[in-house]
Amino acid sequence: CPSKAKRICEVRWNYANNLRMNQAARLLRDTDCNIHEIAANVGYQSPAAFTNMFKNWCGLTPGQFRAQIAAEA
């Protein structure tokens, strides 16, 4: 059934993407690596694509996320 296969692909993609975004959040919180380095580290060739995906994932850009973490410290 094609719809079942599509759902399986979506679940796998969401799982992999969540792993990547969690890793990115850790790097933003625990390192001083720039956004380009973090994007590359989690598998994005384009920092802009990484920024868009991160914002969709947590509601903040990577820079905003890092600033919020710093403000809470």
List pLDDT tens digits, range 34-73. Answer: 999 999 999 999 999 999 999 999 999 999 999 999 999 7
Confidence of residue 3 (pLDDT cuts 50, 70, 90): confident
Q: Give mean pLDDT, residues 22-29.
A: 98
The letter for the amino acid at 71 is A
Using alpha carbons, list the distances in angstroms from residue 48 to 12, 44, 52, 56.
23, 9, 6, 12
- Strand blocks (E) in the chain: none
Confidence of residue 10 (pLDDT cuts 50, 70, 90): confident
